[in-house]
Amino acid sequence: MKTVNATVVPRGGLDMLSRQEVARLRDASRAGPHDLLRRCALAVLTSGGVGDDARALLSAYQDFDIDVLQRDRGLKLRLSNAPVQAFVEGKVIRGIAELLSAVVRDIVHVATEIQENPRYDLATSEGLTNAVFEMLRNAEVMKPGVEPDLVVCWGGHSISRIEYDYDKRVGYEMGLRGIDICTGCGAGAMKAPMKGAAVGHQKQRKRRPRYIGITEPGIIAAESPNAMVNHLVIMPDIEKRLEAFVRIGHGIVVFPGGVGTAEEILYLLGILLHPDNAAMPFPVVFTGPAESAAYFEQIDRFLRLALGDEVSERYKIIIENPPEVARQMLRGLEQVRDFRLAHQDAFFYNWRLTIPEDFQHPFNPSHEAMAGLRLHRDRERHLLAADLRRAFSGIVAGNVKVDGIRAIEEHGKFQISGDPELMAAMDAMLADFVRDDRMKLPGGSSYQPCYRLVW
């Protein structure tokens, strides 16, 4: 791999750090944030690359390093053995410099202002929600005084060309209607709607459109930010990432995907099924091209089996109709606007949404924790949804996250058990994900499951 050494001036508002903050970022001890900074910075510098193997990326650039320099005239980042693709004519690409600033900003903020701040009681639901708000505010992705216009798009990074083109068409139709886009920031269904929306925004001459990418350290190396992202936010874990999506998003479009998308769907529906949220408008559309109709039929069957037929009242399935998806979202955003005005709630952050603590506390997908999940249909629906979400989260970790892959190599496959009918349906859905290359990007060796279902 070709590499370069360079000094980069951060862009995007990060002008200075305190001596204490710089010292923290240089802390290469086991408890220090330097390794986290290095991994996230490398992911940004390889933006646009094709691949979802975090360990392969780290191995390819094992000599890469980043140092934060506080100078009298401002902050600089010294890059050693950095990927050459991040530079043009010896200068770092402007957008990548902005994303590097976001990496430093978020890591510093979480380490010094959130984790060590007694104002945020991270053991309570209220404290976690306040912390998520503070992280998003610090990242400047919320826009006070602007009516609801932000739609979150979920879907797989490993999708077919037909699905990618369809997702882009949906983004285009939303862009024509002035809707901004938020995704997980990676490739595939995370890039396509942003790319389509950019054309729609340009045709409508929309000024300062937002293409927000929200990620977390465990996934960013496997899903590097795509080139469309102009606001990057790195949350400290998957649970805060998911809460950020539903707190700032005014509606959600779900495209075809794999286990990560299934995790997101179960998180969202588990929250919307909570009795406190029954009357809250939150538009949700599942959509894809005609070729993906069977995918959503299977998702719908699984959700009805696991959570009851009434779960389908919280989403619409629209196949092969991008304009109708955009129209449904626009109507949904109007309902969100009216509801929040009636309840004097903020447009930029959904404070009224009840998120149970089961959905907020970080889940470590150890073999013991995965085996202990209670996947039984006699439980309250939102609690079962929370454990199903954890099951899929563990599979994501075993597929693409460094720590998860290492745990599978050391201890074997995760064992997941539950009701026979539920496990059989889950097994069939996961088998289809494998068959359709939805687990990982095609190429290299064939996919080897990191899980074993027991019933």
pLDDT in tens, 130-158: 999 999 999 999 999 899 999 999 999 88
Q: How far from 272 is each of 283, 285, 318, 354, 400, CA to CA, in Å?
A: 11, 14, 20, 8, 28
What's 76's DSSP letter?
A: E
Tokens describing residue 95 = 């957008």
- Give residue limits of the domains in the chain: 3-103, 143-342, 362-454
Tokens describing residue 80 = 């050693």
Q: Residue 276: what residue type?
A: D
Element (H, E) at 25: helix 19-26
Instruction: Please report the pLDDT score of residue 51 as a whole number.
Output: 60
Per residue in 253-308, pLDDT (tens digit) is 999 999 999 999 999 999 999 999 999 999 999 999 999 999 999 999 999 999 99
pLDDT of 58 higher than 80: no
Using a 10 angstrom Cβ sphere, with 0-12 exposed, 13-18 middle and 19 or more buried, the burial of residue 442 is exposed
Phi first, then psi, for residue 289 (nearest 5°) are: -70, 170
- State how far the Cα of 261 lies from the Cα of 250, in Å rounded to an integer: 18
- State how far the Cα of 172 lies from the Cα of 168, in Å rounded to an integer: 6
Q: Residue 122: what residue type?
A: L
What's 375's DSSP letter?
A: B
The pTM is what? 0.92
Instruction: Please report the pLDDT score of residue 80 as a whole number.
Output: 95
pLDDT of 1 higher than 90: no
Using a 10 angstrom Cβ sphere, with 0-12 exposed, 13-18 middle and 19 or more buried, the burial of residue 388 is buried
CATH (residue range 3-103) = 3.30.1850.10
Instruction: Please report the pLDDT score of residue 28 as a whole number.
Output: 63
Tokens describing residue 155 = 């879907």
- State how far the Cα of 314 lies from the Cα of 335, in Å rounded to an integer: 14
Q: Which CATH number fits domain 143-342: 3.20.20.110, 3.30.1600.10, 3.20.20.140, 3.40.50.450?
A: 3.40.50.450
Residues 6+ apart with CB under 8 A from 29: none
Phi first, then psi, for residue 213 (nearest 5°) are: -115, 120
Among the listed residues 125, 57, 115, 48, the one whose alpha carbon sits nearest the alpha carbon of residue 88: 48
